[in-house]
Amino acid sequence: MNINDITIRLENKNDHRKVEELVRTSFWNVYRPGCSEHYVIHVLRDDPAFVRELDFVVEKDGSLIGQNMFMKTVIEADDGRNIDVLTMGPICIANDLKRRGYGKLLLDFSLEKAAELGFGAVLFEGNIGFYGKSGFDYSSRFGIRYHDLPEDADSSFFLCKELKKGYLDGVTGVYQTPQGYYVDDSDVEEFDRGFPYMEKKKLPTQIF
Ligand SMILES: CC(C)(COP(=O)(O)OP(=O)(O)OC[C@H]1O[C@@H](n2cnc3c(N)ncnc32)[C@H](O)[C@@H]1OP(=O)(O)O)[C@@H](O)C(=O)NCCC(=O)NCCS
């Protein structure tokens, strides 16, 4: 689809390396010195939980400037049911084009497509400042807890949006991050050696 001056389309095999380069430069030194997201996306594309129909890239003037992807996972409900949901990310926009509205366009487009495919809710870790504008709220308000997080810990990083109104009505339980997101630092290091050198920096804003 074309919105303003960008095109959002499904990722194809020829995009893979360019997308990994984009993800690497976009996440570099944001949450930790260096980053692992380019390796995570590399691994997740082959994961059975990966949703190929929701693997989007953004093009502008012939260049890839953004990407977003989704994975299937479950909420382990307190009543014993497994509730199918989606999780999302990595999502990114190229450094020189951040804060121009492209991220929100990509996010809203992706969520609309996820809803069209019949998915009921999306949950993940993120900043309410960005995701709140697209209808996300704290997962705690839906009665959904983050796996392995002590009850009194701050869970404001853990967000949720229903794609079908009322999908989580009557559901309380624990959200599980798909296993594919957990990668070994040593595998990240090795994968990263195949990319141009960038300096790792320790910054006060990083969370890890
Ligand atoms: C997060 C990201 C995808 C947002 O894309 P973007 O194109 O820069 O965002 P938009 O311009 O569409 O932002 C829309 C609104 O969301 C809010 N917002 C955007 N980025 C934000 C941030 N990092 N923190 C808080 N609020 C943010 C702002 O209110 C913004 O509107 P404003 O610029 O008029 O104030 C992009 O900044 C990025 O690639 N970041 C690095 C990778 C990353 O952290 N990905 C998310 C992992 S959870």
**What pLDDT was estimated at residue 208?**
76
Measured distance CA(86)–CA(24) in Å, rounded? 23
Q: Are 156 and 128 in contact (CB under 8 A)?
A: yes
- Identify the residue whose tokens are 């006060």: 204
The answer as to whether 109 is a domain residue is yes
193: left (phi over 0), alpha (psi -120 to 50) or beta: alpha
The answer as to whether 208 is a domain residue is no
| Domain with 80 in it | 3-192
The total of structural domains in the chain comes to 1
The answer as to whether 201 is a domain residue is no
Q: Give the CATH number, domain containing residue 36.
A: 3.40.630.30
Which of 35, 38, 130 best tests ligand 1's pocket when mutated (most atoms within 8 Å of CB)? 130
Residue type, 99: R
The answer as to whether 36 is a domain residue is yes
Residue 203: which residues within 8 A CB-CB, separation 6 or more? 29, 33
Interval between CA 206 and ligand 1 midpoint (Å): 16
**What pLDDT was estimated at residue 200?**
98
Point out the ligand 1 atom lying closest to the alpha carbon of residue 124: 48
Interval between CA 103 and ligand 1 midpoint (Å): 6
Measured distance CA(125)–CA(114) in Å, rounded? 18
**What pLDDT was estimated at residue 1?**
60
The answer as to whether 197 is a domain residue is no
Q: Is the confidence at residue 4, as pLDDT, over 90? A: no
Residue type, 110: S
pLDDT digit string, tens, across residues 92-149: 999 999 999 999 999 999 999 999 999 999 999 999 999 999 999 999 999 999 999 9
Using alpha carbons only, how large is the chain's radius of gyration in Å? 17
The answer as to whether 164 is a domain residue is yes
Q: Report pTM.
A: 0.96
pLDDT digit string, tens, across residues 143-197: 999 999 998 999 999 999 999 999 999 999 999 999 999 999 999 999 999 999 9
Pairing of strands 144-146, 173-175: parallel
Measured by CA distance, the residue closest to atom 43 of ligand 1 is 92
Residue type, 177: T
Residue type, 77: A
The answer as to whether 8 is a domain residue is yes
Q: What is the four-CA torsion angle of 57, 60, 65, 69, rounded to 10 degrees?
A: -10
Interval between CA 64 and ligand 1 midpoint (Å): 17
The answer as to whether 25 is a domain residue is yes
Measured by CA distance, the residue closest to atom 5 of ligand 1 is 103
